[in-house]
């Protein structure tokens, strides 16, 4: 039996209702039903409706299921970029999207700031020729975020035809996007949705679809089974091209029901309140300090702290109390800790974590 509470930034703690939904899924033999059955179409439709409600997603957006957020990077470039993309880079995940564009033979340009820093929108020059602008709401490797109001400013800065893509993998459903100011938002379920890994969700508006159709009509490749027109055709029938992760789509539909009955306002309020408690503790600690200097650029959902105690020692102490935080990312493995503040983490659990971290101070 593993009683540990995972404050790791993904995979993370499962949403508290997942075990009961998993049990129900086994009783209903969800793992055996056909992905062409009416039962699956209903599960699919329920997941899409739940997501539309939770995110207040307008009708000109489609909800598409893919394997992961990493897959979205590749599909976004294939389907929406003829020649050139532009990336805001401030850590490992935003860098990886930029590299994906290069690996697919596109001319990718970046506006890079040091690890742990956010962006100042007014200092960013977007090339006129950039067809896709890649923004990262929450850079999970460093704990830096772009506040939603700043994300909304890119629409007026970019060329009218440019598509604004937002990586919200480790923040949705927390950020309240105005979807008329962006064109695509994507996430994978093992972060803030508290589900097992293995499902990516790609939200696209009609401009993304039209661009893919135009590139295809010009005779260029936009990929194969997961090109936007194929994804869309099946999505409109509440189906997927391939045999999908039916179990996870089912679990997502159930967790969305739970999140909607709790309400997005409550989830956002609780996220703010837990984040405030965590940052207040970090500011007062002798061992930890917030890694992102500018308070406006500090993530509410993936909180990163510099640590004078090696992260492995911190986790050794926490393990005795059935808790674990994330170690730092890459070369910061031992010198930073990362604390996930997701909807699955209750206020009581956060208080327990902070109490145990405080014991290290003495
Ligand atoms: C985890 C993460 C990804 C990659 O998600 P996968 O599900 O592993 O493909 C991309 N971007 C950010 C910001 C992430 O935190």
Q: Which among 260, 285, 306 is the end of a domain?
A: 260
pTM as predicted:
0.98
| pLDDT at residue 161, as a whole number | 97
Q: Is the CB of 77 under 6 A from ligand 1?
A: no
168 assigned to some structural domain? yes
The span from the CA of 137 to the CA of 149, in Å, is 11
Indicate whether 77 and 112 sit together in one domain.
yes
Indicate whether 101 and 245 sit together in one domain.
yes
Mean confidence (pLDDT) of the chain: 98
Q: Is the pLDDT of residue 351 over 90?
A: yes
3 assigned to some structural domain? no
| pLDDT at residue 229, as a whole number | 98
Q: Return the best residue to mutate from 191, 197, 248 for the ligand 1 pocket (most ligand atoms within 8 A of CB).
A: 191
1 assigned to some structural domain? no
Q: Is the pLDDT of residue 162 over 90?
A: yes
- Per residue in 45-69, pLDDT tens? 999 999 999 999 999 999 999 999 9
Q: Is the CB of 167 under 6 A from ligand 1?
A: yes
9 assigned to some structural domain? no
Q: Return the best residue to mutate from 11, 67, 70, 141 for the ligand 1 pocket (most ligand atoms within 8 A of CB).
A: 70
- Per residue in 228-283, pLDDT tens? 999 999 999 999 999 999 999 999 999 999 999 999 999 999 999 999 999 999 99
Indicate whether 125 and 103 sit together in one domain.
yes
Give the ligand 1 atom nearest the CA of 139: 13
8 assigned to some structural domain? no
Indicate whether 143 and 113 sit together in one domain.
yes
Indicate whether 252 and 289 sit together in one domain.
no
Indicate whether 332 and 216 sit together in one domain.
no
Indicate whether 303 and 243 sit together in one domain.
no
Ligand 1 centroid – CA 70 distance (Å): 6
Q: Is the CB of 183 under 6 A from ligand 1?
A: no
Written in H, E and C, the secondary structure of the chain is CCCCEEECCCCCCCCCCHHHHHHHHHHCCHHHCCCCCHHHHHHHHHHHHHHHHHHCCCCCEEEEEECCHHHHHHHHHHHHCCCEEEEEECCHHHHHHHHHHHHCCCEEEEEECCCCCCCCHHHCCCCCCCCEEEEECEECCCCEECCHHHHHCHHHHCCCCCEEEEECCCCCCCCCCCHHHCCEEEEECCCCCCCCCCCEEEEEEHHHHHHHHHHHHCCCCCCCCCCHHHHHHHHCCCCCCCCCCHHHHHHHHHHHHHHHHHCHHHHHHHHHHHHHHHHHHHHHCCCEEECCCCHHHECCCEEEEEECCCHHHHHHHHHCCCEEEEECCHHHCCCEEEEECCCCCCHHHHHHHHHHHHHCCC
Range of the domain at 317: 263-359
Indicate whether 281 and 236 sit together in one domain.
no
Q: Is the CB of 93 under 6 A from ligand 1?
A: yes
Name the CA dihedral angle for 350, 354, 357, 361, rounded to a multiple of 10 degrees.
Answer: 180
- Per residue in 96-110, pLDDT tens? 999 999 999 999 999
Q: Return the best residue to mutate from 8, 144, 169 for the ligand 1 pocket (most ligand atoms within 8 A of CB).
A: 169
6 assigned to some structural domain? no
Q: Is the CB of 140 under 6 A from ligand 1?
A: yes
Total domains present in the chain: 2
Indicate whether 332 and 229 sit together in one domain.
no
208 assigned to some structural domain? yes
| pLDDT at residue 159, as a whole number | 96
Indicate whether 302 and 245 sit together in one domain.
no
**CATH number of the domain that residue 297 is part of:** 3.90.1150.10
**CATH number of the domain that residue 109 is part of:** 3.40.640.10
- Per residue in 113-159, pLDDT tens? 999 999 999 999 999 999 999 999 999 999 999 999 999 999 999 99
Q: Is the CB of 154 under 6 A from ligand 1?
A: no
167 assigned to some structural domain? yes
Q: Is the CB of 70 under 6 A from ligand 1?
A: yes
Q: Which among 236, 260, 284 is the end of a domain?
A: 260
Ligand 1 centroid – CA 139 distance (Å): 9
Give the ligand 1 atom nearest the CA of 136: 13
Indicate whether 244 and 315 sit together in one domain.
no
Q: Which of the four pLDDT bands, split at 50, 70 and 90, describes residue 362?
A: confident
Q: Which among 229, 260, 291 is the end of a domain?
A: 260
Ligand 1 centroid – CA 90 distance (Å): 14
Q: Is the CB of 173 under 6 A from ligand 1?
A: no
Q: Is the pLDDT of residue 225 over 90?
A: yes
Q: Is the CB of 92 under 6 A from ligand 1?
A: no
Indicate whether 136 and 273 sit together in one domain.
no
Q: Is the CB of 68 under 6 A from ligand 1?
A: yes
Give the ligand 1 atom nearest the CA of 71: 9
| pLDDT at residue 44, as a whole number | 98
């Amino acid at each position: 039996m593993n009683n540990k509470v995972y404050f790791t930034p993904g995979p993370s703690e499962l949403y508290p209702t997942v075990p009961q939904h998993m049990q129900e899924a086994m009783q209903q033999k969800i793992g055996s039903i056909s992905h062409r059955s009416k039962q699956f179409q209903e599960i699919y439709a329920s997941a899409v409706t739940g997501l539309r409600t939770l995110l207040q997603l307008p009708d000109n957006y489609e909800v598409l299921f893919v394997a992961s957020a990493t897959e979205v990077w590749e599909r976004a470039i294939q389907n929406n970029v003829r020649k050139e993309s532009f990336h805001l880079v401030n850590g490992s995940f935003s860098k990886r999207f930029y590299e994906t564009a290069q690996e697919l033979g596109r001319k990718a340009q970046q506006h890079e700031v040091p690890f742990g820093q956010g962006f100042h929108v007014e200092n960013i020059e977007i090339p006129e020729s950039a067809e896709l602008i890649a923004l990262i709401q929450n850079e999970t490797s460093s704990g830096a975020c772009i506040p939603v109001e700043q994300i909304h400013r890119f629409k007026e800065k970019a060329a009218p035809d440019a598509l604004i893509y937002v990586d919200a993998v480790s923040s949705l459903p927390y950020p309240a996007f105005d979807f008329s100011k962006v064109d695509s938002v994507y996430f994978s379920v093992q972060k803030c949705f508290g589900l097992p890994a293995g499902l990516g969700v790609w939200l696209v508006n009609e401009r993304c679809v039209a661009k893919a159709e135009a590139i295809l009509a010009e005779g260029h490749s936009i990929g194969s089974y997961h090109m936007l027109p194929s994804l869309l055709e099946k999505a409109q029938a509440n189906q997927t091209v391939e045999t999908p992760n039916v179990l996870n789509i089912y679990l997502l539909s159930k967790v969305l029901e739970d999140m909607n009955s709790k309400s997005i306002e409550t989830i956002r309020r609780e996220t703010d309140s837990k984040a405030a408690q965590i940052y207040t503790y970090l500011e007062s600690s002798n061992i930890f300090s917030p890694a992102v200097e500018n308070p406006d650029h500090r993530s509410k959902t993936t909180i990163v702290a510099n640590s004078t105690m090696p992260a492995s020692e911190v986790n050794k102490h926490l393990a005795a109390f059935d808790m674990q935080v994330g170690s730092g990312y890459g070369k910061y493995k031992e010198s930073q800790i990362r604390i996930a503040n997701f909807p699955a983490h209750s206020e009581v659990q956060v208080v327990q974590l902070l109490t145990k971290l405080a014991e290290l101070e003495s």
